[in-house]
Structure 1
Amino acid sequence: MPLTICIIDDDLVSQFATRYCVQQFFGDVDITTCDSGEEGLSFFVDFFKEKNQLPDIIFLDLVMGGMDGWTFLEEIQQQYGKAKFPKVYVLSAFAKTNDRGIAKEHPLISGYIDKPLSRIHLQGIFANEENGNAH
């Protein structure tokens, strides 16, 4: 069964670049993109109803209009706290310097990546996925 990946980012160029990088690196993967935290939550509800699980990996932008990445994380933790939680990789330009420090310490975040996503980042992420390890 292919990995399921959700990209949550309000920047369409970043979404496209992230999707393209993942597809070029590892073709057998299901990717969903969401333009906001709210859309991400809606996708999670539908995905969980259909598959009784959450996606394997989330690439999450922290700074978005409406619901930011931090609020999205709080919401999915409250709603799906007992489910197997996805690996969350913050993909951000880190406009706020304290976001990097908080992301490093956050228990739900497996790693953080400065935009844009690159092949080197993916090598580490997918190697850890195949070995069943956290990043």
Structure 2
Amino acid sequence: MREETLWIIDDDMVSQFAIKYKIGQSYPNNRVSTFYSVQEALTALKECMDGKLEFPEKVLLDLGLPVLTGWHFLQELEKIRGNIAPFEIYIVSAFSNSMDRKRAKDHSLVKGYFEKPLDNFAVDQIFMSR
């Protein structure tokens, strides 16, 4: 299985740990970077655009972040999407909100929506999709 770069954007340290642990159980050879805010992730994305960092292949995005939400991250991506390497975005949320689910399903940049905590099926869906 090929090694991939994965970003987790979530303000909750426990959620970050749980997601990393669950992924590590089945897909241990991935490079995982964590970000506590959308602003941190956008700064890293700029570094990718400048060639200082490698673009991720997958991003696991929480929607309920303080200050700038996951939706803000998606809005910023839409502005620059022609200038960045494409990557898969999966929403990982603790709150199952039907409006957010529909909005995510209809969003052109979002590949999937999963509830926390991630189970083995969700992790397989993230890593087996292409």
> 2:50 corresponds to which residue?
49
> 1:66 corresponds to which residue?
67
Q: Give the superposition deviation at 1:108.
A: 0.5
The aligned amino acid for 1:56 is E
Tell me if structure 2 keeps the 8 A contact 1:8–1:33.
yes
Tell me if structure 2 keeps the 8 A contact 1:53–1:84.
no
Question: Residue 7 of structure 1 aligns to a residue in which SS?
Answer: strand
Report sequence identity in percent. Answer: 35
Once residues 15 and 106 of structure 1 are traced to their aligned partners in structure 2, the CA distance between those partners, rounded to angstroms, is 24
- Give the total of aligned pairs: 129
Q: Give the superposition deviation at 1:93.
A: 1.8
> 1:33 corresponds to which residue?
34
Q: Give the superposition deviation at 1:117.
A: 1.1
The aligned amino acid for 2:65 is M
Normalised TM-score (structure 1): 0.86
Q: Give the superposition deviation at 1:76.
A: 2.0
Question: Residue 50 of structure 1 aligns to a residue in which SS?
Answer: coil
Normalised TM-score (structure 2): 0.89
Once residues 15 and 110 of structure 2 are traced to their aligned partners in structure 1, the CA distance between those partners, rounded to angstroms, is 20
Is the counterpart of residue 113 in structure 1 residue 114 in structure 2?
yes
Q: Give the superposition deviation at 1:53.
A: 5.6
Q: Give the superposition deviation at 1:49.
A: 2.4
Structure 2 unaligned blocks of 5 or more: none
Is the counterpart of residue 87 in structure 1 residue 82 in structure 2?
no
79-88 vs 38-47, which moves further: 79-88
> 2:124 corresponds to which residue?
123
Question: Residue 50 of structure 2 aligns to a residue in which SS?
Answer: helix
Structure 1 unaligned blocks of 5 or more: none
Q: Give the superposition deviation at 1:22.
A: 1.1
Question: Residue 81 of structure 1 aligns to a residue in which SS?
Answer: helix
Q: Give the superposition deviation at 1:6.
A: 0.2
